Structure 1
Amino acid sequence: MWLMVVSVPLLPAIFMVSGRYRAKAAALCRRALAWALRLLRGRVCVRSTHAFVFSKCTHGKADSVLKTFDLYADTHPSLCISPQTAEALDEAVRRVRPSRVLELGMHCGYSSVRLLRLLPPAGRLITVELDPLTADLGEEIILVAGFKHTQFQVLTSSSAEAIPTLHSLLEHDKGVSEGLSLVLMDHDPQQYLPDLLALEREQLLSPSGCSLLLIHRNQRAEGLRGILDHIRARPDRYCIKSELQFMTEIFYQKESTRVEV
């Protein structure tokens, strides 16, 4: 029923266009329906995952929340990252020891909890999620895991809208001049390069070094090529630290003297 509501208004436009444009209009309609299906499936998955984790985990225990996520993922489709990627993410956070972290793409709150549990007491996570339902349920999971609002902030907006506001959000933080020391990109791969360029333009990346973790659930994800081409064209600022099956780690450093990481 929901798909009919979305698609029916598009049908007259398809039949009214000339024969020369009808194929393009039909293709556009198919893309819109595919997007609507992905959105619907994603929301169903978020609701189902949230309900399972909320009811089965031990509240106030971050490790219990993560184990419950993993338990759910064993038998259900899930937006959680794979165990291998989770281990690589933990290793990167422990090595970088970031104090200011930006997460683009919240999903069910799984990676938010993974990140927060490894931050120092004064550390802070800003997570950006476009879908309001996902943002609300993900925020509840973070609170269930035992974290407080002083440790994180959820922004319900597109990444393009959120990035220019980060200076004002961090201006009261001690050490804000250092910039972000870790950025996790797990949203739309098409936005990876535009968002990286925006972070550069806003001078939000720590000049002394910032690790960018790019999640690619689909190895052929369009958008990865653009950001990797940009990285390889800037050896004075960027280097690819590791390339795993589902995650690529990039190191950024603005200062002229490069430090081995």
Structure 2
Amino acid sequence: MSLLLVASLPVMVIATVRYGTKLLGFCRNLLTQAMNLTQGTVSVNKTHAFVFSNCTHGQADSVLETFHLYNNTYPSLCIGQVKGDFLDEVVSRVAPRVVLELGMHCGYSSVRILRLLGPAGRLLTVEKDPETADKGEEIILVAGFKHLQFQVLACVSAEAIAGLRTHLSDGQGLDLVLMDHSVEQYLPDLLALERSGALLPGCVLLVNHILGPEGRPFLEHVQAQPQRYTQRRQLEGMMELTWNGPSELH
């Protein structure tokens, strides 16, 4: 694995020079993931145990700092501090009333979102693995949040989207969607969200790990519909989009 990393560095440098800085973040992500593989596989149980045992209960910032401490040494599925700051900025600017998170993992992004929501804000967070969902929910509670502020849906994303209306009040919709689950599921889930009518005009979508080949169908769909989607920013493979509403042609 070490030899593979060394051999890949010149390719990354050449690609960055030729194709620009947008590719730099993607290459950095690949390198980080490859380095994580040399340290061991991701363990939800170990991540949860470390955060639960070492954070100050009831303090969201302590929970996040403990995630960072763990992530400095061991591989995990949390988006990390750089993308986390990006997420913070979006949540603060959008001031969403309802957020849908696809891919809760151990609760890192959930905690970041919840600590910035207003009194009327609510998070619906989806995790397909029941054990991971339970551990993520426990971390959210440890961070000091109550069940009135969030709901964990332990099911696949398609099932969660199909049942969205049962979790929304009349006239309520989604102001922010974070996609951080299976990249190949991004486009089917986006199409399902479009059909559901749950996306409010101006809804912001944050889509993680979108620059690889698996994300190409999603990007092609979005870029083919500039009347529906506006691309905003991209940071290390996390892209911000705005849903402008359904076009008259659809």
The structure whose Rg is larger is: 1
Once the two structures are superposed, what CA deviation does each residue of 1:170-226 show, in whole Å capped at 9, x if it has no partner? 13xxxx52410000000000010110110110101012x10000011x84251x111
Aligned amino acid, residue 177 of structure 2? V
Query: How many Å separate the matches in 1 of 2:187 and 2:81?
Result: 26
Is residue 60 from structure 1 mapped to residue 50 from structure 2 by the alignment? no
Once the two structures are superposed, what CA deviation does each residue of 1:57-86 show, in whole Å capped at 9, x if it has no partner? 010000010001001111111111132111
Spell out the pairing of 1:1-261 with structure 2 (5 A cutoff). Answer: 41-42=41-42, 45-171=43-169, 176-207=170-201, 209-216=202-209, 219-222=211-214, 224-254=215-245
Q: What is the aligned residue count?
A: 209
Q: SS in structure 2 opposite 1:50?
A: helix
Aligned amino acid, residue 211 of structure 1? V
Q: Is the 8 A contact 1:237 1:253 kept in 2?
A: yes
Provide TM-score, normalisation by structure 2: 0.80
Aligned amino acid, residue 215 of structure 1? N
Provide TM-score, normalisation by structure 1: 0.77
The CA RMSD measured in Å over matched residues stands at 1.7
Once the two structures are superposed, what CA deviation does each residue of 1:95-116 show, in whole Å capped at 9, x if it has no partner? 1111100000011100000000
Where does the alignment leave 5 or more consecutive residues of structure 1 unmatched?
Answer: 1-39, 257-261
Identity of aligned residues (%): 61
State the Cα distance separating 1:122 from its structure 2 match.
1.2
Where does the alignment leave 5 or more consecutive residues of structure 2 unmatched?
Answer: 1-39
Q: SS in structure 2 opposite 1:126?
A: strand
State the Cα distance separating 1:243 from its structure 2 match.
1.5
Runs of 4+ in 1 over 3 A off after TM superposition: none
Structure showing greater relative contact order (alpha-carbon pairs closer than 8 Å, 6 or more residues apart): 2
Q: Is the 8 A contact 2:77 2:105 kept in 1?
A: yes
